[in-house]
Structure 1
Amino acid sequence: MNHPKIAIIGLGYVGLPLAVAFSKKYTVIGFDINQSRVDELNSGKDHTLEVSDEDLKEALASNTSPAMKLSTDAEAMKEATIFLVTVPTPTDKNRQPVLTPLIKASETIGKILKDGDIVIYESTVYPGVTEEVCVPVLEQYSGKTFNKDFFAGYSPERINPGDKLHTVTTILKVTSGSTPEIAKKVDDLYASVITAGTHMASSIKVAEAAKVIENSQRDINIAFVNELSKIFRLLDIDTNDVLEAAATKWNFIKYTPGLVGGHCIGVDPYYLAQKALEVGYNPEIILSGRRMNDGMGKYVANEVIKLMLNKEAKVKNGKALVLGITFKENCPDTRNTKAIDVIEELKSYNMHVDVCDPWANKEEVKTLFGIDILRCNELNSTYDSIILAVSHSDFLELDLSALKNEKAVVFDVKSFLPTDKIDGRL
């Protein structure tokens, strides 16, 4: 363990930055089942933009012993002594946790597991998944005994897509292990590359719970201000003015209303809720917050329609422009985006909807949503309503007046545009 070889399973938004960070000190084998993803990365390109081309090419620089190798062949990982699992943990259409990627990853690792190996999970789960779901799979496929022949750890990811300030090495890392000795080894491993430091949790379940409540707390806080926005719109009060006034108190925590999507905040509360139900507790606040935030896309579209009717703008067979389809600003990540809810609701009023996004991958959006997105320089029409759903900095350069019909409505979901350019905002 003094000179570990590290295998990282899953080369997406979480796994790739982690692989590059570890490759500066250790031999790293990156594994992904997506051949096109591996080919893209081996060519020195990362479409997620989480790793620069320069850093990626440096990590892949091949001499006699390259620091990082990427493959779709599980056999390439057989010499690894530490396995880091960074596969996604989504929910299904019924909002139930989907652990299939974790189970499949555990099966793959189990087939090549050796005595003394450590398997560390980073995927967001509810408390108990590592030891109650993943470890039995590792035992089954390896024929080995947990905490005797092999060990486990959990260190939840804290990647913030698109954030170039808070990167994998500059965010404090929570760590844990299946025994006190292994917990120390896991903590030492991460501490060797995480400049922000580490926090060793008392158990794997504590580390799992800490991760899932981080995003659940944020989800609930945003749900609260979304509800405030609904109330204040009925009272004809500007929500942002209220929040600015309240934020002058030292202990007021300022959140802003908006669409809540993405791979974490819009998903993780359902994992915690599912576990709560399994042990006989019916979560109230967690699911209430989720219901509020899940309904915001439809609410925004309906508020736009009300404004259009008040201005006598054309609704049926009218044209709407939605600015942004990624789940957050200035990044290409479209996972669990709630902008699509705004789009679909507008279409239910028989409106034609164009979508402009300077960051999203055109092919990906077409595959996922059947939408042909436009870039800013491709906008050559005028619209009856314009909805800013994502605050990409590029949108500040748009001449909205040139895109508006005479009675057009401009609605700002993110309170991003100048107030004299809009008709309404959350």
Structure 2
Amino acid sequence: MIGLGYVGLPLAIALAKRFGTTGLDVDAVRIAELERGLDRTREITPERLAASSLKLTGDPKNCPPADFYIVTVPTPIDNNNRPDLSIVEAASRTVGSMIERASAAGRTPIVIYESTVYPGVTEDICAPILEQVSGLECGTDFFLAYSPERINPGDREHTIDKITKVVSGQTPEVLEEVAQLYGAITSGGVFRAASIKAAEAAKVIENAQRDINIAFMNEIAQIFGRMDLSVWDVLEAARTKWNFLPFGPGLVGGHCIGVDPYYLSHRAEELGHDPKVILAGRGVNDSMADWVGERLHAARGAAKGTALVLGLTFKEDVPDLRNSKVADLVARLTGLGHDVTVHDPHADAAEALQEYGLTLDETALDRQYDLVLLAVPHREYVAMGAARFRGLTNSGGTLADLKGALGGAADWTL
């Protein structure tokens, strides 16, 4: 397993129950933490780590020859919202050196990519790197496969051992080997995609579809906001129809939904197609944090003051700060002149400072503020109750609830 993050670690732990499995990660701190039984993503408990036969290493040379090499590294976007394939390319170079040793040991390895990419990356970009580094021929000395990851951080229901796994392979024989591998660890079964490109495309449109639906909800929230009409009241009525899709408005962050549509739009533009719907959805969602900040500022009568933002992670009850749009909201409030304090019981303070330049205040709940915003409804916050939130708000202040978690007790919500 190359990459032991939110995707790689749960998969490696599951595979280690059935197969001899080695986990490789270039982050030495990550390896040291896992060896101590600490998973900073909180996807795997210390007890499961201790009980697993998974071998851990930060050095590719310590990885024994294997039949399968599974790449689960991040595929982010750059500052211009273009795909950044540098990490998956580096991982491919690492795998290239390892499959050379596997071939010398008499194996014909299969390299499986799980990282989210646009159609064609596995065969057109990764395969040549593997060939160049290893000196082996793809389709003869080693083979390719793709199985899109479907990890949802913090989700204890749709775990790797329960979901349907989409699989694909370079040949029918490889496809069956990959299907047997994943079929051995999930009760949800496997779906054999028609091709590697079809499997790559399936993953990227899963998240693009959600992004577009959420963008529609964000746009109607903005429209209804001009009418002084609660979008939550509207949705409560609309959801009584049997086929109304249960999406809601909000900030779209995280490593997948806010990123993957740009991979698809990038490839579309390379092919000469203008992806109007995809980019329109991205435009709405990327601008939502600024819109919320401006609405909160208006709700305060454009008066500057102290503000408390509760929650920084991209979703509730997880420590994941990747692509957090709450950080954009904090930046907008700060730009409008508010003195913003940020609190989050799940986020890592060092990571928040490094990624966003934000200092988390552990004592933030001991004071009062002109504006209190429940941005991410972690269970700890919801358990506090509306009265406690009101107690954090100065007399004449504004209590805001981004996702309607306080049951209508706030002065402002979407």
Shared topology, TM-score over 0.5? Answer: yes
Quote the Cα distance in structure 1 between the aligned partners of 2:361 and 2:318. 16
Q: Does 1:424 align with 2:399?
A: no
Alignment of 1:95-114 (within 5 A): 95-113=81-99, 114=102
Q: Does 1:55 align with 2:44?
A: no
Q: Is the 8 A contact 2:224 2:230 kept in 1?
A: yes
Q: Specify the alignment match of 2:26 in structure 1.
A: 33
Quote the Cα distance in structure 2 between the aligned partners of 1:196 and 1:134. 29
- Residue aligned with 2:91, SS: helix
**Structure 1 unaligned regions, length at least 5:** 1-7, 60-66
Q: Specify the alignment match of 1:372 in structure 2.
A: 359
Quote the Cα distance in structure 2 between the aligned partners of 1:74 and 1:275. 32
Shift of the alpha carbon at 1:374? Answer: 2.8
Q: Does 1:43 align with 2:30?
A: no
Report the residue type matching 1:193 in the other structure: I
Q: Does 1:84 align with 2:70?
A: yes
Quote the Cα distance in structure 2 between the aligned partners of 1:319 and 1:49. 33
Quote the Cα distance in structure 2 between the aligned partners of 1:23 and 1:108. 21
Shift of the alpha carbon at 1:129? Answer: 0.3
Alignment of 1:254-333 (within 5 A): 254-309=246-301, 314-315=303-304, 318-333=305-320
Shift of the alpha carbon at 1:138? Answer: 0.4
Q: Specify the alignment match of 2:119 in structure 1.
A: 127
Q: Specify the alignment match of 1:407 in structure 2.
A: 396
Q: Specify the alignment match of 1:243 in structure 2.
A: 235
Quote the Cα distance in structure 2 between the aligned partners of 1:418 and 1:206. 43
Report how many residues are paired.
405
Shift of the alpha carbon at 1:296? Answer: 0.6
- Residue aligned with 2:361, SS: coil
Q: Percent identity?
A: 48
Shift of the alpha carbon at 1:164? Answer: 1.2
Q: Specify the alignment match of 1:361 in structure 2.
A: 348
Q: Render the CA deviation track for 1:7-39: whole Å, top value 9, x for unaligned.
A: x00010000001100010111110000000000
Shift of the alpha carbon at 1:149? Answer: 0.7
Q: Does 1:393 align with 2:383?
A: no
RMSD: 1.1
Q: Is the 8 A contact 2:341 2:364 kept in 1?
A: no
TM-score relative to the length of structure 2:
0.96
Quote the Cα distance in structure 2 between the aligned partners of 1:13 and 1:278. 30
Q: Does 1:176 align with 2:168?
A: yes
Q: Specify the alignment match of 1:19 in structure 2.
A: 12
Q: Is the 8 A contact 1:385 1:404 kept in 2?
A: yes
Shift of the alpha carbon at 1:40? Answer: 0.2
Farther-moved stretch of structure 1 (352-361 vs 109-118): 109-118
Q: Is the 8 A contact 1:29 1:76 kept in 2?
A: no
Q: Is the 8 A contact 1:118 1:150 kept in 2?
A: yes
Quote the Cα distance in structure 2 between the aligned partners of 1:144 and 1:47. 37
TM-score relative to the length of structure 1:
0.93
Q: Is the 8 A contact 1:23 1:68 kept in 2?
A: yes
Report the residue type matching 1:16 in the other structure: L
Q: Is the 8 A contact 2:217 2:249 kept in 1?
A: yes
Q: Does 1:68 align with 2:57?
A: no
Farther-moved stretch of structure 1 (360-369 vs 147-156): 360-369
Q: Does 1:9 align with 2:33?
A: no
Quote the Cα distance in structure 2 between the aligned partners of 1:283 and 1:78. 44
Shift of the alpha carbon at 1:378? Answer: 4.7
Shift of the alpha carbon at 1:209? Answer: 0.2
Quote the Cα distance in structure 2 between the aligned partners of 1:11 and 1:381. 39
Q: Does 1:352 align with 2:336?
A: no
Shift of the alpha carbon at 1:244? Answer: 1.5
- Residue aligned with 1:419, SS: coil
Q: Does 1:117 align with 2:109?
A: yes
Quote the Cα distance in structure 2 between the aligned partners of 1:404 and 1:175. 52
Farther-moved stretch of structure 1 (75-84 vs 167-176): 75-84
Q: Is the 8 A contact 2:311 2:378 kept in 1?
A: yes
- Residue aligned with 1:217, SS: helix
Q: Specify the alignment match of 2:325 in structure 1.
A: 338
Q: Is the 8 A contact 2:342 2:364 kept in 1?
A: no
Quote the Cα distance in structure 1 between the aligned partners of 2:189 and 2:405. 34
Shift of the alpha carbon at 1:322? Answer: 0.5
Shift of the alpha carbon at 1:407? Answer: 1.5
Quote the Cα distance in structure 2 between the aligned partners of 1:418 and 1:248. 19
